[in-house]
Every structure is written in structure tokens, then in C-alpha cells.
A and B are shown apart, each in its own frame.
Chain A
């Protein structure tokens, strides 16, 4: 496990860029963290690192957003509203998870039974005792 501490949104973004630059085809990442913790900022960094220049919208509405303009296809999931893993099957998640691109799944803990064994889990946490903008980011 790797633990990175950041103290600003731009540091979190840079970490995302680094992860995006090093991402390989077929990788699946789970992204866990509460509302407002910086998941969007991190993901925007990842997209940048993958060479995607278009804005990365929240996929809350459509569950998954697909970006083809980067170095690798990028599949951004937000499964917060998924009630049942059957719904993941309905949107054909396996094509993305076991495809040639990179998947990032926000709130993956809600569907952990379908997450592949090799998934990299990224957890972002606040610790208000260490300051407002402090974030502990664990990658395992």
C-alpha cells in the first residue's frame, strides 16, 4: 500500500495526472471517498494524464462516461445510484472492465462483489485535525 498526503486540490490533481500517465490497458481502479473530498479533482488529473483534453463531467446521471480522445480509452463510472449489481450487467460493465481501456469506478464499495481481484483501490480521506485541505490518499 502506498499512502500519499496532499495539502491542496492542485496536489491531488497532480497525483491524478501521475496515475493517469502510468495507467495501462485493462486496469480497473476503484475510487472511494465522501462527497466533496476531491474525487472529481483526482479524476480530472487522471484524464489529463491520459491525454484527454475534453472536460470530464460527472457520470452520476448516466452511470458511465466514455472518453476516447486520450492515449487509452477511459471509462469513468459513478455507481452511487446503482441499486443492484444486475443494473451493472444491464449497462454492460464487463465490456469496460475487461476491455482495453482504463476504468475508474467511484463508489465501487457499493458493488464490490463485481470488482475484479486485480482492482487498485484508491481511497481519499479528510482529517480535519490536520487542516482543511489535508487529504490522505491510499492506493492499494
Chain B
């Protein structure tokens, strides 16, 4: 699963849906793998407007990636700033979460990630 996916996921426990602490989920003991993907600035520019930037900054920091700027860059800024372009490309397009856990900041439930596939099925007492 691409790390980017974390921007679209939240805790599966119903009671956590209304809490802002359930997003983003926090990677724990994460093992990452990197694909080699060609840099495509336009792809990032089309993607950025739909991302939750604050959550992305949190994910980036928690995975030990370079600090992202406070505001999402514009197309001009992205094309002028090779470092941010590279950082974002690497984080969003190339990085996969292979093993570890995803932890909800509200209920503390840990979702196991194995062989790149997180398991969001809840034990029966949480359904």
C-alpha cells in the first residue's frame, strides 16, 4: 500500500468517526519499501489539491521523511523548488508501507499491516 493511501483512511471503529484524533492513523514499527517511479510534477500538482496537507505533514514526519512546508506548494513553487518536489514525489509516489501497524489516535486500536496489506477487519467486540 502506498503511504499516500493514509490520506484517505480512518479508524474503522464507528465511535471514532466523529473524532479528529482518528485521522491520520499513526504508523508504528513501519517497514517501508520504495519503488522507482519517474518524477512527474504535473501529477503532483493535480494530486495536491485533494490531499489533507496537515495530515500528510504528520505522516511524513512520523515516517522520518523531511519536514514538509507548512502550506502546500503551488505549481510554480513546486517547479522552482526541486527539493520539495523530490521529497513529495518520494513520499507520495514511491513509498510503500509493507509491514507494521496503523494506530488510531482516538481508541488506540492497532491495525496490522502485512505484506503491504493492512487489515481493517475489527474483532467482533468492536464491530
Interaction A to B: no
